[in-house]
Structure formats: structure tokens, C-alpha cells
Amino acid sequence: MDILSKIQLHREEEQRLVWEGTFAEYLDILKERPHVAQSAHSRVYNMIKDAGIDTFNGQKKYRFFDNQIFGLEEAIERLVEEYFHPAAKRLDVRKRILLLMGPVSGGKSTLVTMLKRGLEQYSKTDSGAVYAIKGCPMHEDPLHLIPHHLRQDFFEEYGVRIEGSLSPLNTMRLEKEYGNRIEDVIVERIFFSEDKRTGIGTFSPSDPKSQDIADLTGSIDFSTIAEYGSESDPRAYRFDGELNKANRGMMEFQEMLKCDEKFLWHLLSLTQEGNFKAGRFALISADELIVAHTNEAEYRSFIANKKNEALHSRIIVMAVPYNLKVSEEERIYEKMIQASDMSHVHIAPHALRVAAIFSILTRLKDSKKQGMDLLKKMRLYDGEIVEGFNHVDLEELKREFADEGMSGIDPRYIINRISSTIIRKEVPSINALDVLRSLKDGLDHHASISKEDKERYVNYISVARKEYDEIAKKEVQKAFVYSYEESAVTLMDNYLDNVEAYCNKNKLRDPLTGEEMSPDEKLMRSIEEQIGISENAKKAFREEILIRISAYARKGKKFNYQSHERLREAIQKKLFADLKDVVKITTSSKTPDESQLKKINEVIARLVDEHGYNTTSANELLRYVGSLLNR
């Protein structure tokens, strides 16, 4: 289907959603679907909930934020469960401004943008449908037409609570246009749109000397005063401030804590009482979610000022720290690169991972827990198994520092350095070493890094380089070992025969001489040591292998080379250790012979076909691993 056909379908779909009718007809819709009268906070919560919720290890993951926000599951769960959920239930939390506090490039703006775009789409669904009095610049809730003395009766009949009073403009229209016949007032379905300023507003402070409070609350239209005779006539007032236009939805208050005090006074009444003062009118009701964002330094300065106490008590602060998971950090970089014009450049496997390792290390704090270093902590945070530590230790580590993740290198710096690497390197391919080199060079030009931090960060680059060395050797190991798959299977069968004899306290029979032999302890340990199995842990490991074999047998399945991940890794490492000389000769030979050349080509083909390299990055990897093995 071409783009013009899709535009036509989109237009037809928008036309299908349009609805207009009297207030009496709107009540029929309300009786059938009471949720159309939900509050702004309830609408946001239901939008997130309706997208789906997954639970892993007791932690909730909201699908609404998938593919845009990475590694902030805990912060988002706290945001949804401690703010949106209780606010949706009309608890007092809804009378607070939501302030997202965190370091630069931590995802605050992305989170707010997702809520705004989400509301735009949600208002086009049956669950998120919004209805307003037609012709009202504030998209007012039609239920404000119900007189206050009848609202209890309305609740008993419809089960819907009404909050707020009819605006001055609609009070006049009800009298002059409809003769006070509430049932005849025209109601229409509206669709949130930031571009059209319907239900979504954004306020950004500028120079305090030139900014007018009218930007928030609207202003008098002086050209109509002669026609209507008075500034207190609502028809002579433009209800076009951000607070007016964001009614029924949400308003983003950018850099709120940098605002002049007079702009913040209006928020006191709006948050606590659900109304604000504008022009020469009574208080105007508004139902909207106000979201602001700031960094930690600005927030500390704000709360230190005693004059801000009243507003501070009406703010709920939600920390949005940096992501602390290496795998999620990689996804952030991938997303940023895909959104650029450089997505065609080949980035070798693990290039983004080493950048992620470096950035996560800069954000972590040294634990006082015995035996815990930053690398182990990084692995635990990323869901890896670290010997000697478990889930309880992980929870303790997370509780150790309340401000962990609020400082360190931000994703923008990393992506800037990756971008610099992509532009500078003439071949359309970059690898992990190119990225690490660029990260190190960039530290000299990073204005906000202190001398002490720079020394620490250079050390983290060295740590990331060592991690890459291990990854690179393992990658080549896998590619080489595959060519010796048959040897790997034979080695594993031999190991399993010895393990079975050891556990059952049996002897083995020599296949050539037929004489009985004790299990080959040297062989078993040479394999087990490859994955760090200690002398004390060898018995438990061997028994675990036997249990796994018997479990497979009970199910009628054959235990093979792929059946136990750690054993497979041990076999590969052992085989690679035995093959190291072959790899060394093959990868470092300047004039490889025919058999070496064949082996190199096989390994390169495997790296390209199965590991995500191209021929350039595969050759670079082999040369690098060859140099490592020759040291």
C-alpha cells in the first residue's frame, strides 16, 4: 500500500471517530461507558496499564515504555505505583505536581514525551475517549453543567463523581445560547494533540523580564472590549494559556524550578484545589496532570530557599537515575544510532558493549560489602550469575546507596564519541578498540569532568579494554572450536565417563588393554578449572551433571554437547587452551601456508555468518586476538 492510500485510510479513521450530540445523548454514552468521565490522572494510569504489564522476579515491567526507555524498570514502577495509581483512585497524591529529578540525558524528557504521544493515541481509542462542551477553548468536562445541589443524586444514579465548577464562559453560553437548558448543550468528542493545543500543553520559561503570566492563564482580548463593554465579560478573554489548553490532559512544565515566583503561585491553587485565577473571574476549574523535570543541583537549591516551602509541599519528587544495566545501555546506543543517518555503518559486535561497560562503571559506587568489586556489582546488576552472591545480595547492594546512578557519564557523551569514530574512520566499519580510543580522547575535552574523575574514568576504560580482551578471545575460540566440534564431543564424552565413575565410586576399563583404571582426576580438573570450579566445589558440580543426565534420560532425551551451558563453556575453553598454539600461529602468521589460510577463511566465514561481523571487522578481530596470544 502506497503512502497516499495510508493517508486516505488515516483520514477515514479520524472521520469515523468524530461524534457530536446533545448533553442528554452524552449521558446515554456515560451510562453505558462510565469510564469516559475519568480524571486526567486516571486516564494516564489506564493508558499505561492497558498497554500491558509483565512481572519478572516480582518486578513489574510496563510495556507502554518498551523500546524507548531502557533499564529504568524500578524507577518507572515507583512512578506508576506511587503516583499514577493512587492519583487515579482520587487519593491526595493527585493534588501534587510530579517532578522528575535526575541527571542529564537520563530519560526524563523521553518519559514525558512518551506520556504526551501516548495520550494523543489513547484519546482515539474507546477506553481513552474524551468528551467536551463544544466550542469551549478549555475543552471543559460536560459534567460541570450539572448543578452542585444535584451532584449527589447524579453520583447515586451514574456512579460518577463530579469535581469542579462550570467556567465563566460556559456559564454565560448556557444562559444566552441554550436558555439554561442543560440537556441541549452540544457535546463533542475531542482528541488530544500537542500541535493543536488540545489537552496537552508545554510551558517553557524564558527571560523573566519579558515573559507574561498570560502564557499560563490566558489574557484579555482588548480588541473585543468595545464590543462586550467590560473586561469581566468572559467573551472578551482569551482562554489560551497553557493551563487552559492542557485541561483534561497534561502539561509539561519545562525547567519549572528556574521560573519566576509569580508563575509558580498559580500552581499552588491548581494542585491543591483544582482551580486557578485568571482575569476578573471567579476561580477556573482545571483537571490536568502537571509534570516538571529538573536536575539534582537545581532541586537542592530550590528546597534550600525557605520561600519555596508552600510549593515544595505540593511536589512529589520521583528520581530518574541513569540506567545501571550494561545490556540495557547497549540498547540505548542502538536506538540512538538507528535514529541517525549513520545506521548503515557496520558496528562490530561488542563495540557498543565495551562503551556500555565503561559508562556503567562510572555510575556505580564502590560497595562496602566484603568480596564485592565494581565489575562483580556491574554483572549482578545486569542479571549475570556471580559466584558467591545471590538475589538477596543484589537487593542489599541496591539499598546501599540511595543516589546511585545519579552521576557518571551520560549516554549523549558516549554516542557523541561513537559518532566521532564513525565520521573519522574512512572504512564503513568500527570496532570496540576504535570506540575505546575515542572515549579516552574525548575525556580531555569534557568540560564538566574533574581531574580526579578523569583519572578514575581512564582506569575504567582500561577495565573495559580487559573485558573486551576476554570477549574477543572467547569469540575467536568459539569460531575455531566449531571446526573441532568432533574433538569437543569426544572430550565431553570422556569427561562424562570419568565423572560417572567418580560419583558411583567405580573403575573405568581401558578400551585398548582392558585393565581397570581409577577415574582420571587430572583430566576432570583440567576441564572444571576452566570455569572456576574450586576443589571444594568439584563434587557438587559433578553430581549436578549426573542429575541433569538422569533427568534427560527420564524424559527420553539424549544429553549432548549443548545440554549444559557451563559444561559446554568449560569444554570449549579446555579445547581452546589445547588449540592455543594453533590459533596463535594461524592468526599471527604474516605469510600463512595453505592449511593456515584455509583455517583463517573458515573462521572468518563463521564470524561473519554466525557472530555478526563483516569481513573487515572479522579480520581486525583475528589480528587483535593473535597479538593478545603472542604477548
DSSP code for 511? T
Buried b (16+ CB within 10 A) or exposed e, 393-414: bbeebeeeeeebbbebbbbebb
* Cα 475 from Cα 617, distance rounded (Å): 12
50's CB contacts (< 8 A; 6+ apart) are 122, 127
List, for residues 598-620, the tens digit of each pLDDT value: 777 888 888 898 889 999 899 88
* Burial class of residue 291 in the structure, from the number of CB atoms within 10 Å of its CB (0-12 exposed, 13-18 middle, 19+ buried): buried
Where do the domains of the chain lie, and which CATH numbers do they carry?
21-319 (3.40.50.300), 326-446 (no CATH), 484-588 (no CATH)
pLDDT score for 208: 64
Question: If DSSP codes are grouped into helix, strand and coil, which group holds residue 300?
Answer: helix
pLDDT score for 105: 85
- Once rounded to an integer, what is the mean pLDDT over residues 296-300? 86
The model's pTM:
0.82
Question: If DSSP codes are grouped into helix, strand and coil, which group holds residue 455?
Answer: helix
C-alpha cell at 242: 497553557
For residue 261, pLDDT over 80 is answered with no
pLDDT score for 427: 66
For residue 593, pLDDT over 80 is answered with no
Residues facing residue 201 across a β-bridge: 251
* Cα 322 from Cα 71, distance rounded (Å): 8
Residue 305: pLDDT band (50, 70, 90) is: confident
Question: If DSSP codes are grouped into helix, strand and coil, which group holds residue 542?
Answer: helix
Share of the chain above pLDDT 70, in %: 95
C-alpha cell at 352: 557498543
C-alpha cell at 628: 593478545
Pair type for strands 97-101 and 289-294: parallel
C-alpha 68 chain-centroid distance: 6
pLDDT score for 198: 94
How many CB atoms neighbour CB 42 within 10 A?
Answer: 19
Question: In 186-326, at which residue ranges do the beta strands (DSSP E only) sit?
Answer: 186-190, 200-203, 219-220, 237-238, 250-254, 275-276, 284-285, 289-294, 315-319
C-alpha cell at 325: 544495566
List, for residues 443-482, the tens digit of each pLDDT value: 887 777 888 888 999 999 999 999 999 999 888 877 877 6
C-alpha cell at 60: 513489574
- Once rounded to an integer, what is the mean pLDDT over residues 219-226? 83
* Cα 112 from Cα 115, distance rounded (Å): 5
| φ, ψ of residue 127 in degrees (nearest 5) | -70, -30
Strand order in the sheet with 186-190: 20-22, 186-190, 130-133
User: What is the amino acid identity at position 605?
Assistant: A
For residue 484, pLDDT over 80 is answered with no
